């Protein structure tokens, strides 16, 4: 039975996250996994199980989510499969690539690394006068906002201490149910990408629940002057969630890519 690897993008604003949710005695919630599964089942005329690599939260976006499914009958040529699925999807989710993978490919267990970005407007730069401190109506669903101007240089100094292998329990939503809270962060950067607009990028072997949003929140506290950049190692060593910054809003977060190091090849 052939197994398919899909690269999926979606605007998470109107989804209750990635994972399918069917509360007892209630209508299923609208999720990216649920919508995608229904579209594929409708196309192939068979029930399928679509598994995703990352369980993004409600309001979180994706450019490079990876999903996989196996199907008994798929008469659609591989090169046309994205178009065929997309014709059955709403406009806020899209399959951008499809390929065949080995039968045992697991999008979660075989993941080698993944990357998230976070967009944040800060201060008054780049905001038209009529906005009066409110989120820009044209990017409010994709970009978080901070009314205070942030010290970019201080945040950039702080990012260096957030890389490496460590117990990142301080940056995990409590209580964390994973077997271990040790993770490896390969890169952590923050850069100005426009007037009053910042982009944070974090890549690693994997992340704890809300980890990236808390890392960004901690960097924002550095940018505000509430924390010194030199405090980051101590915050990590404490394994104490209360020592780190706020959990930033979901809408600024986007899953950019997931790499498998060849584990997804036939």
Q: Do 202 and 185 meet the contact criterion of CB atoms below 8 Å apart?
A: yes
Q: Are 114 and 255 in contact (CB under 8 A)?
A: yes
Domain ranges across the chain: 3-110, 113-257
49-105 pLDDT per residue, tens: 999 999 999 999 999 999 999 999 899 999 999 999 999 999 999 999 999 999 999
Radius of gyration of the chain (CA): 20
pLDDT reported for residue 158: 98
Using CA atoms, how far apart are residues 255 and 266, in angstroms rounded to an integer? 25
**pLDDT beyond 80 at 24:** yes
With 0-12 / 13-18 / 19 or more C-beta atoms within 10 angstroms meaning exposed / middle / buried, residue 175 is exposed
Residue 4 has pLDDT above 60, yes or no: yes
Alpha helices by DSSP H, 21-159 = 32-44, 81-86, 152-159
CB neighbours (10 Å) of residue 245? 21
With bands split at pLDDT 50, 70 and 90, how would you rate the model's confidence at 240?
A: very high
* pLDDT at 124 (0 to 100): 73
pLDDT band at 25 (very low <50, low <70, confident <90, very high): confident
Q: Give the architecture-level CATH label for domain 3-110.
A: 2-Layer Sandwich (3.30)
Whole-number pLDDT of residue 129: 44
Confidence at residue 125, expressed as pLDDT on a 0 to 100 scale: 56
Q: Considering only residues 263 and 197, tell me which one the structure prediction assigns the higher pLDDT.
A: 197
Does the pLDDT value for residue 175 go beyond 90?
no
Mean pLDDT of 229-247: 97
- 203 three-state secondary structure: strand
The reported pLDDT for the residue numbered 173 is 87
Same CATH topology for 3-110 and 113-257: the answer is yes
pLDDT, average across residues 180-201 = 96
Q: How sure is the predictor about 266, in pLDDT bands with cuts at 50, 70 and 90?
A: confident
Residues 6+ apart with CB under 8 A from 109: none
CATH code for the domain defined by 113-257? 3.30.70.660
Residues known to be catalytic: 57
**Residues near 30 by beta carbon (within 8 Å), at least 6 away in sequence:** 14, 15, 16
In the prediction, which pLDDT does 136 show? 67
Average of per-residue pLDDT across 28-45: 97
Residue-wise pLDDT for 114-173, tens only, equals: 999 999 999 875 454 444 556 667 778 999 999 899 999 999 999 999 999 999 999 998
Q: If 0-12 CB within 10 Å is exposed, 13-18 middle and 19+ buried, where does residue 252 land? A: buried
């Amino acid at each position: 039975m052939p197994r398919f690897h899909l690269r999926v993008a979606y605007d998470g604003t109107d989804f209750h996250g990635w994972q399918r949710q069917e509360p007892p005695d209630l209508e299923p919630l609208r999720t990216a996994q649920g919508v995608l599964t229904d579209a594929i089942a409708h196309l192939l005329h068979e029930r399928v199980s679509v598994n995703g690599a990352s369980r993004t939260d409600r309001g979180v976006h994706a450019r490079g989510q990876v999903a996989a499914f196996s199907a008994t009958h798929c008469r659609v040529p591989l090169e046309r499969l994205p178009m065929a699925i997309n014709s059955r999807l709403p406009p806020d989710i899209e399959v951008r690539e499809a390929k065949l993978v080995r039968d045992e490919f697991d999008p979660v267990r075989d993941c080698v690394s993944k990357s998230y970005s976070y967009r944040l407007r800060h201060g008054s730069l780049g905001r038209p006068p009529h906005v009066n401190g409110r989120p820009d109506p044209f990017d409010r669903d994709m970009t978080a906002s901070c009314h205070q101007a942030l010290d970019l240089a201080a945040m950039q100094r702080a990012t260096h201490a957030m890389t490496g292998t460590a117990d990142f329990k301080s940056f995990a939503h409590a209580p964390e149910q994973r077997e271990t809270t040790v993770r490896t962060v390969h890169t952590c950067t923050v850069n100005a990408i426009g007037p009053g607009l910042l982009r944070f990028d974090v890549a690693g072997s994997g992340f704890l629940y809300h980890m990236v949003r808390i890392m960004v929140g901690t960097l924002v506290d550095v940018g505000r002057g509430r924390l010194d950049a030199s405090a980051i190692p101590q915050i990590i060593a404490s394994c104490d969630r209360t020592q780190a910054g706020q959990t930033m809003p979901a809408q600024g977060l986007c899953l950019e890519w997931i790499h498998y190091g060849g584990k997804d090849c036939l």
